[in-house]
Structure 1
Amino acid sequence: MRRSQLARVLAVAAVSAMFTAGCTGVNPKPSATATATPVVTSTPTVSSPSATTQTATPSAAPDSPSTAAPLPADEPANAPPFPADTAPDTSAASAGAFLSPVNLRFGVHDGYDRVVLDLEGTGQPGWVSQYVDVPRAEGSGSVVDLAGTACLQTTVKGVTYPTEVGAKTYVGPQRFSPASAGVVKEVVYGAVFEGQAEVYIGLSSKQPFRVFLLENPTRIVIDIYHP
């Protein structure tokens, strides 16, 4: 091979080596990394007086013994988590209300305990709910034996005797002590007397509470704040 041809071959080989090194070298620019999406958390706040408990409106859920009932549909989205106090809570029954208490249930929620009285019939019930020093049965006036150091007594109005034509029979518990409660120690259902029924709630301490009506099905909800 001539020297000129040899020199030409060596020059081509050198250029090829330089090009290969440039393709396989380490790129000093760091690869892009995904930016983590910040996690937003909310801390429940409780305003005393009358949840969720919550800085957001609770979603509707069945008010079963293990799940609290939904809040009223007309409650403002920016309402305090628990807008209540310890003052009596009252509401009038509709004219001609014909309602039968059929069940009494309990649910614990974030920030409050909930007692629900289910009713069947026509019209809207009324109530008088207040703290009493000594719980007494309507009619007889006898003292109701109740656990706890405070008693919240709720008189439900617009109900009928279970013996009336078209009335339903009460099938719920007469007395129970929920193990998972925050402040509720015991709940007692009283007998119907002259168009009203009694619900007695024994508490470990006197706390803000609220009472409201939910419909379809008809039920009275009693919420008691727990720390």
Structure 2
Amino acid sequence: MPLQPGEEPTPPPARPSVVSIKIEQAAGVDAIVFSLSGDGYIGWTARFVQMPLLQGTDDPVSISGSCILQIDMIGVDSNIVSLRREMPKRLLPESDESSVVEVLSYPSANGLAQAFVGTRSGTPAVTVDALADRPAITVGIAS
């Protein structure tokens, strides 16, 4: 509907933001922790992919690992100023014994933020937790 003279446009609804991403290691399980801020609902999917593709461009994602886990978070904005669409944030584990080889995190586009996790094992066990008392999505990976 067109705006009437003197009428202000309605701002888009605020979305939760991904404010940081880190790898935590404890008791043989590596966790990729997506810390969040803001209010609202977030949808997510996590799946293994043979050919990792960046949403909206279908550009292949070059990532190391025996198995690739794609994590999509829907309804979020990236609040990480260092992220540019063409250059993901790259995280490496502190230990060579980690289940994770590397994590590539891309900024959000149209409310979708993507991350790709390369694992050492071809058959890792994956858990995803979204806890009410901690504003984060945690993806656990064990070989």
TM-score (norm. length: structure 1): 0.50
Opposite residue 92 of structure 2, the aligned amino acid is S
Partner of 2:16, secondary structure, is strand
User: Tell me, which stretches of 5 or more residues in structure 2 are unaligned?
Assistant: 1-12, 84-88
Q: What percent identity do the matched residue pairs reach?
A: 28
Q: Determine the structure 2 residue equivalent to 1:196.
A: 112
Worse overlay, 100-109 or 174-183: 174-183
Q: CA RMSD in A?
A: 2.0
Partner of 2:20, secondary structure, is strand
**Contact 2:22 2:91 survives alignment (8 Å):** no
Q: Determine the structure 2 residue equivalent to 1:102.
A: 19
Opposite residue 136 of structure 1, the aligned amino acid is L
Opposite residue 120 of structure 1, the aligned amino acid is S
The structure with the largest helix share of the pair is: 1
Query: Deviation at 1:176?
Result: 1.7
Aligned with 1:178 (options 57, 77, 93) = 93
Q: Determine the structure 2 residue equivalent to 1:27.
A: none
Matched, 1:225 2:142: yes
Counterparts of residues 129-148 of structure 1 (less than 5 Å) = 129-148=46-65
Which gives a bigger RCO, structure 1 or 2 (Cα 8 Å, sep 6+)?
2
Moved over 6 A (4+): none
Query: Deviation at 1:171?
Result: 5.0
2: CA distance between counterparts of 1:143 and 1:216?
Answer: 36
2: CA distance between counterparts of 1:172 and 1:182?
Answer: 25
1: CA distance between counterparts of 2:14 and 2:55?
Answer: 20
2: CA distance between counterparts of 1:171 and 1:117?
Answer: 15
Work out which of the two has the higher radius of gyration on C-alpha atoms and give 1 or 2.
1
The structure with the largest strand share of the pair is: 2
Aligned with 1:150 (options 50, 59, 67) = 67
Opposite residue 175 of structure 1, the aligned amino acid is R
Query: Deviation at 1:101?
Result: 1.0
**Contact 2:23 2:91 survives alignment (8 Å):** no
**Contact 1:97 1:125 survives alignment (8 Å):** no
2: CA distance between counterparts of 1:97 and 1:158?
Answer: 10
Aligned residues: 124
2: CA distance between counterparts of 1:222 and 1:177?
Answer: 15
Q: Determine the structure 2 residue equivalent to 1:213.
A: 130
1:31-69 Cα offsets, whole Å, 9 max, x none, are: xxxxxxxxxxxxxxxxxxxxxxxxxxxxxxxxxxxxxxx
Query: Deviation at 1:132?
Result: 0.3
